[in-house]
A and B are shown apart, each in its own frame.
Chain A
Amino acid sequence: MASSVLSLASATPSASLSFHGIHKGKSNLGGINKEKTNTFIKAKSFGRTSMVVASIVSRFEGITMAPPDPILGVSEAFKADNHELKLNLGVGAYRTEELQPYVLDVVKKADKLLLEKGENREYLPIEGLAAFNKVTAELLFGADNPVIKQQRVATVQGLSGTGSLRLAAALIERYFRGAKVLISSPTWGNHKNIFNDARVPWSEYRYYDPKTVGLDFEGMIADIKAAPKGSFILLHGCAHNPTGIDPTPEQWEIIADVIQEKNHVPFFDIAYQGFASGSLDADAASVRMFVARGMEVIAAQSYSKNLGLYAERIGAINVVCSSPEAAARVKSQLKRIARPMYSNPPVHGARIVADIVGDSTLFNEWNAEMEMMAGRIKNVRHKLFDSLSSKDKSGKDWSFVLKQIGMFSFTGLNKAQCDNMTNKWHVYMTKDGRISLAGLSLAKCEYLADAIIDSYHNVS
Chain B
Amino acid sequence: MKLLSRKASCNSHGQDSSYFAGWEEYEKNPYDDVKNPKGIIQMGLAENQLSFDLLESWLAKNPDAAGFKRNGESIFRELALFQDYHGLPAFKNALGEFMAEIRGNKVSFDSNKLVLTAGATSANETLIFCLANPGEAFLLPTPYYPGFDRDLKWRTEVEIVPIQCTSSNGFRITKSALEEAYQQAQNRNLKVKGVLVTNPSNPLGISLSRHELNLLLSFIAAKGIHLISDEIYSGTVFNSPGFVSIMEVLMNKKYVNSPVWDRVHIVYSLSKDLGLPGFRVGAIYSNDKMVVDAATKMSSFGLVSSQTQYLLSAMLSDKKFTKNYVTENHKRLKQRHAMLIRGLKNAGIPCLESNAGLFCWVDMRHLLSSKTFEAEMELWKKIVYQVGLNISPGSSCHCVEPGWFRMCFANMSEQTLDLAMQRIKSFVNSISYSNNLSPNQQHSNKSSRRKSFSKWVFGLSFHDRESER
Q: Decide if A and B are genuine partners.
A: no
Chain B interface residues (CB < 8 Å from chain A)? none
Chain A interface residues (CB < 8 Å from chain B)? none
